[in-house]
């Protein structure tokens, strides 16, 4: 049976994880995302630091900005994530 941790400890774990994102693996990113979803913690801008499809952190992605839409192409799988710019 798994141990339950408090929401504040979960938030602290997530914050600490994203401080050193560059040398993380896909399984670790999936685990942290699952932790955030289970405690209903929003990742906010942190979710734009890794690929939505293959969960690898962006090292040097191809970024294009066209008519207030930012598109980032993953160098690993080629998936294009698109976000509206403010």
Decide if 51 is inside a domain. Answer: yes
Decide if 66 is inside a domain. Answer: yes
Residue range of the domain that includes 32: 7-84
Q: Which strands sit side by side in the sheet containing 69-73, from one edge to the other?
A: 62-66, 69-73, 80-84
Going by DSSP bridges, is the β-strand pair 80-84/62-66 parallel, antiparallel, or unpaired?
unpaired
Give the count of domains, the chain.
Answer: 1
Mean pLDDT of the chain: 93
Total residues belonging to the chain: 86
Share of the chain above pLDDT 70, in %: 98
Decide if 46 is inside a domain. Answer: yes
Share of the chain above pLDDT 90, in %: 86
Tokens at 69, concatenated: 């839409």
Decide if 2 is inside a domain. Answer: no
Q: What is the pLDDT of residue 1?
A: 61
Secondary structure of 33-80 as H, E, C letters: HHHHHHCCCCCHHHHHHECCCCCCECCCCEEEEECCEEEEECCCCCCE
Decide if 1 is inside a domain. Answer: no
């Amino acid at each position: 049976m798994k141990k339950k941790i408090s929401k504040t400890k979960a938030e602290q774990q997530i914050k600490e994880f994203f401080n050193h994102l560059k040398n993380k693996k896909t399984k670790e990113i999936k685990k942290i995302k699952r932790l955030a979803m289970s405690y209903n913690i929003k990742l906010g801008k942190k979710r734009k630091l890794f690929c939505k499809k293959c969960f690898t952190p962006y090292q040097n992605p191809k970024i294009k900005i066209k008519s207030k839409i930012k598109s980032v192409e993953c160098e690993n799988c080629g998936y294009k994530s698109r976000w509206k710019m403010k």
